Structure 1
Amino acid sequence: MIATPPPAEPQFVTVSAIVFPPEEERPKIVNVSCRPSPKASQGLCPVPILDSYFNGNEVQQLVLTEGLNGEPLRFPLHLWYAPQLLQKGSPVNRAIFHITSGAAEKSWCGPVVVLKFNGSRRQGYSDAGSNDLPALSAYFLAYK
């Protein structure tokens, strides 16, 4: 009789993300855990665990593929935010207000979390950091 080992547990991955906390003046670099995608065998990206940032609010996401002056980003940025917080009367996100010097046309409310893809195929994440802030600032300034 041959003993077979139990199936391997899915491996969680931790990466650095940028968080724009609504009540702070500056963005923070934090560690975010990602669970494997249910369709990981098809090359789909891990799923970040962001519940603690959004307190049950509905979250939308977008992918930023262009940086300053419309240059394509080698490592696209994945943003999560809760757009309904503006309608709920949440205060303006001070970190985004600060990074744009208050010149952005759209007011962002609530937290914004940014992860960095590890390549243009968007199959995983790498560590985001302060080098990604200029592209984010340009995006927040241009968004209407």
Structure 2
Amino acid sequence: MIATPPPAEQQLIMVSAILFSPEEERPRIITIKCRPSQVPSQGICPQPLVTSHFPDGQAEIILTQGLNGEPLRFPLHLWYSPNALSRGAPVNRAIYHITSGAALKPWCGTVVVLKFNGSRRQGYSDAGSNDLPALSAYFLAFK
């Protein structure tokens, strides 16, 4: 018997992401599964499976600029709960910590960040602590 891999559309891609949990003092690295795109109109970028972190729905932002407005070679893809503040979710302590409490807007609820593997945003690479300065600058400037 010859073992064959499952079809490409069933293979999941694993990538490291940054989790900003409201209950934790510091962000941490987690693994996110991504499903290859099955819809040609959506491009070839995998679909991250982040819904388990956002039971009441999520919104997303693509961060293309880092410190001092410099373009990011590897843009960052942020997911967050748009309803967290209105439903009384706690202030995100990890974001509060990396901004030293100086952010103009308090971030509430969970935030998950993945890193694109290039400016064309067709796939993801592992996010890590080197991405925190750009994220901190974004959280500080967000109004």
Q: State the TM-score, normalizing by the size of structure 2.
A: 0.91
Stretches of structure 2 lacking an aligned partner (at least 5 in a row)? none
Trace 1:56-67 onto structure 2 (pairs within 5 A).
56-67=55-66
Q: Bigger CA drift: 39-48 or 112-121?
A: 39-48
Greater Rg by CA:
1
Runs of 4+ in 1 over 3 A off after TM superposition: 40-43
Letter in 2 for 1:24: E
| Residues 114 and 126 in structure 2, CA contact (< 8 A), matched pair in contact too | yes
Question: The residue matched to 2:85 in structure 1 has which SS?
Answer: helix
- Alignment CA distance shift 1:6-1:67 (3 Å): closer
What is the rounded CA distance, in whole Å, between the counterparts of 2:27 and 2:68 in structure 1? 22
| Residues 51 and 57 in structure 2, CA contact (< 8 A), matched pair in contact too | no
- Report Cα offsets for 1:91-112 as digits up to 9, x if no partner: 1000000000000011111100
| Residues 15 and 33 in structure 1, CA contact (< 8 A), matched pair in contact too | yes
Trace 1:72-83 onto structure 2 (pairs within 5 A).
72-83=71-82
Trace 1:28-43 onto structure 2 (pairs within 5 A).
28-39=28-39, 43=43
Letter in 2 for 1:123: Q
What is the rounded CA distance, in whole Å, between the counterparts of 1:109 and 1:40 in structure 2? 35
Q: How many residues align?
A: 139
**Is residue 54 of structure 2 the alignment partner of residue 50 of structure 1?**
no
Letter in 1 for 2:13: V
- Report Cα offsets for 1:13-71 as digits up to 9, x if no partner: 000000000100000001100001122587331111112211x2120001000000000
What is the rounded CA distance, in whole Å, between the counterparts of 1:41 and 1:79 in structure 2? 22
Letter in 1 for 2:128: G
- Alignment CA distance shift 1:29-1:40 (3 Å): farther
Question: The residue matched to 2:84 in structure 1 has which SS?
Answer: helix
* Percent pairwise identity: 69
| Residues 22 and 93 in structure 1, CA contact (< 8 A), matched pair in contact too | yes
1:14 — aligned with what?
14
Q: State the TM-score, normalizing by the size of structure 1.
A: 0.91
2:93 — aligned with what?
94
| Residues 85 and 109 in structure 1, CA contact (< 8 A), matched pair in contact too | yes
Question: What root-mean-square deviation, in Å, do the aligned CA atoms of Structure 1 and Structure 2 show?
Answer: 1.8
- Alignment CA distance shift 1:22-1:46 (3 Å): same
